[in-house]
A and B are shown apart, each in its own frame.
Chain A
């Protein structure tokens, strides 16, 4: 679902930006213009942050340990 209309960012892209640690992806742009989507953006971000912390998800969203063959750059 499109979340940020100003930057055309959807919910998957926001979650991807969280998994990649921020400062790298389109998902980081969400909420940086009119701010109308911020409540929803913050909700998505905090849910994903909890998920990452709980499950130890890596950058590609998998459960593979960092540095393993399945954890690709």
Chain B
């Protein structure tokens, strides 16, 4: 079935953000693993996988609406050089996603495409959870101190 052109453009914008997030979380996971923070490695890896699942359903939706999923375009992949910077950059990325999805949900409603709206709402729930998690990490660093926080990230148990 043919999708609204504005909705298709929006879906590709969200897909671009998801593909960017996959790579950003992935390289952050690898860097944390290289430094020995196994818990953080798993954390960021799981976040990358979650965004792959989002990309999966977005691509399906774009194809359903007879659009072309753009697999070539990325937003800047912002890579932190220490753990706190990684969390800050990941948080900024997720906050951008929440804003974009909220805007998209409103646009879908206006275009009369509630199928896409429902899909974006389910993705939004995941992104809000990610924002919550990252805010908590930064709050922990603030409250217990960076060294104490990092010591809790070495073992994954």
Which residues of the partner chain A approach B81 to less than 8 Å between Cβ atoms? 1-2, 10
Collect the chain A residues with CB atoms within 8 Å of residue B89's CB: 1
Q: Are A36 and B79 within 8 A (Cβ)?
A: no
With an 8 A cutoff between CB atoms, is A29 at the interface?
Answer: no
Interface of B is mostly: loop
Chain B positions within 8 Å of A37 at CB level: 76
Judge whether B85 is part of the interface by a CB distance below 8 angstroms: yes
The smallest C-beta distance from B32 to any residue of chain A, in angstroms, reads: 15
Give the residue among A2, A10, A37 with the most B Cβ atoms within 10 A.
Answer: A2
Q: Are B76 and A40 in contact (CB under 8 A)?
A: yes
- In the complex, A10 Cα to B79 Cα: how many Å? 9
**B137 interface residue (CB < 8 Å to A):** no
- B77, CB-defined interface residue at 8 Å: yes
Report A's interface with B, CB cutoff 8 A: 1-2, 5, 10, 36-37, 39-40
User: Which residues of B are in contact with A by a Cβ distance under 8 Å?
Assistant: 76-81, 85, 89
